[in-house]
Amino acid sequence: MSRFEFIAPCHFGLESVLKREITDLGYEIVQAEDGRITFAGDETAFCRGNIFLRTTERILLKVDKFKAETFEELFENTKEIPWENYIPPNGKFWVAKATSIKSKLFSPSDIQSIMKKAIVERLKKVYKIEWFPEDGNEYPIRVTFMKDEITIGIDTSGESLHRRGYRKLASKAPITETLAAALIMLTPWKRDRILIDPFCGSGTIPIEAAMIGANIAPGMNRSFLAEHWTELIPKKAWYQAIEEANDVMLHDIDMSIQGYDMDGEIIKAARQNAALAEVEQYIHFQQRPVKELSHSKKYGFIITNPPYGERLEEKAALPALYKEIGQAFNALDSWSYFIITSYEDAQKYIGRKADKNRKIYNGMLKTYFYQYMGPKPPKRLDMDSK
């Protein structure tokens, strides 16, 4: 079997979660860097990486890595890459995204233009044609410059992997599916424990939790660009990955997951999204403000993404809101709580310092994942008494 290297980007601060996912799939970690993990695998990794990984934004097929301080070096080194191993004569190819950090070459548009010309020159010579129809499958190229070193990859996913296909309706400031999954995986929550999201919005955290609990692969119900790259990946590899996803899915399991929000319309949207994700049977959604948060069971988990107050008119309401959150937590004093927010005074108004605080970048926004650990329930306690 052929050996390939892949690049899996993720939110800054969540590299350890993605690394564990990749290792659990059986692939070798090549390098872990800020915001991305490089791993090695055979052709099954194209398929299984896209279908099974919950916390990466996309899977890139790594093509090359080299140093370039001038546009001439960039052109010549790009031209040396055996692009014919990846792109057929009728393939549609372009440099879809270029980023540059602390590098002499910093203009994305110039980087994109020069690399496209270099690839064309290479393929013209190999295929002995002067004009490329580009009417075949797509091969979008993504490049990153870091301290004058460029890493080149071809996007195998297409649309970002956070788009699972179930979220047709979203709240005003939704958390992405990949981030929601990573937050859940940073906690000790398991499917036999109660989980509540009191600011569930369109239901992303409860839905991702239900998918994790039922072992539903996040990419089962969507398509990927690399599905059509039959010159690199046999079709049967995709069929086998989907078959594996169906085989490992759990059925007839008990889970107690609840999502609350004070907006009745968004609760309706959450129910519809859960139905599209085929996990509606595991989640109870209800219109309820956080001050009415309560539960009869002694042990459970809260994982939530409350308002950050990014707009000035909203910031004034945050102290009162986070005081309500703290009061609700106090009423469930044997539960564990996990909150992601960019509000730096969150702990002050909650009234308790978090046991752990993890910094995570949600795009360019610095957020904090505050973790309040409750006591572990007795080992023999069954789900009904939690």
- The number of residues in the chain equals 386
The mean of the pLDDT values for the chain is: 94
Question: How large is the average pLDDT for residues 222-236?
Answer: 95
Question: How large is the average pLDDT for residues 356-360?
Answer: 96
Q: Please tell me the pTM assigned to this model.
A: 0.94
Q: What integer pLDDT is reported at residue 116 of this predicted model?
A: 98
Q: What integer pLDDT is reported at residue 375 of this predicted model?
A: 92
The residue among 218, 238, 217 whose CA lies nearest residue 229 is 238
Q: Where is average pLDDT lowest: 96-105, 118-127, 180-189, 362-371?
A: 362-371
Cβ atoms of 206 and 357 closer than 8 Å: no
The residue among 341, 338, 258, 268 whose CA lies nearest residue 293 is 258
The residue among 236, 223, 235, 229 whose CA lies nearest residue 88 is 229
**pLDDT tens digits along 30-77:** 999 999 999 999 999 999 999 999 999 999 999 999 999 999 999 999
pLDDT tops 50 at residue 383: no
Go through 359-370 and write b for each residue having 16 or more CB atoms within 10 A of its CB, e for each that does not.
Answer: ebebeeeebbbb
Cβ atoms of 87 and 96 closer than 8 Å: no
**pLDDT tens digits along 270-286:** 999 999 999 999 999 99
Instruction: Write down the residue that tokens 């960039």 correspond to.
Output: 74
Integer distance in angstroms from the first to the last C-alpha of the chain? 49
Cβ atoms of 249 and 216 closer than 8 Å: yes
Q: What integer pLDDT is reported at residue 315 of this predicted model?
A: 83
Q: What integer pLDDT is reported at residue 380 of this predicted model?
A: 59
- Residue 240 neighbours by CB under 8 Å, 6+ apart: 44, 47
Question: How large is the average pLDDT for residues 296-319?
Answer: 86
pLDDT band at residue 382 under the 50/70/90 scheme? very low
Domains of the chain, earliest start first: 4-155 (3.30.2130.30), 177-214+255-385 (3.40.50.150)
Number of other CB atoms surrounding residue 250 within 10 Å: 11
- Residue 222 neighbours by CB under 8 Å, 6+ apart: 159, 163, 164, 165
pLDDT tops 50 at residue 207: yes
**C-alpha triplet 316, 321, 324: angle, nearest 5°:** 150
The residue among 207, 218, 214, 180 whose CA lies nearest residue 274 is 207
CA-to-CA distance for 272 and 265, rounded, in angstroms? 11
CA-to-CA distance for 198 and 328, rounded, in angstroms? 10
Report the percent of the chain where pLDDT is more than 70. Answer: 96
Cβ atoms of 82 and 88 closer than 8 Å: no
CA-to-CA distance for 151 and 34, rounded, in angstroms? 14
Question: How large is the average pLDDT for residues 105-127?
Answer: 97
Q: What integer pLDDT is reported at residue 64 of this predicted model?
A: 98
**C-alpha triplet 90, 94, 99: angle, nearest 5°:** 160
Q: What integer pLDDT is reported at residue 378 of this predicted model?
A: 84
pLDDT tops 80 at residue 384: no
What DSSP string describes 232-290? TS-HHHHHHHHHHHHHH---S----EEEEES-HHHHHHHHHHHHHTT-GGGEEEEE--G
**pLDDT tens digits along 149-187:** 999 999 999 999 999 999 887 766 679 999 999 999 999
Q: What integer pLDDT is reported at residue 171 of this predicted model?
A: 65
Question: How large is the average pLDDT for residues 2-18?
Answer: 96
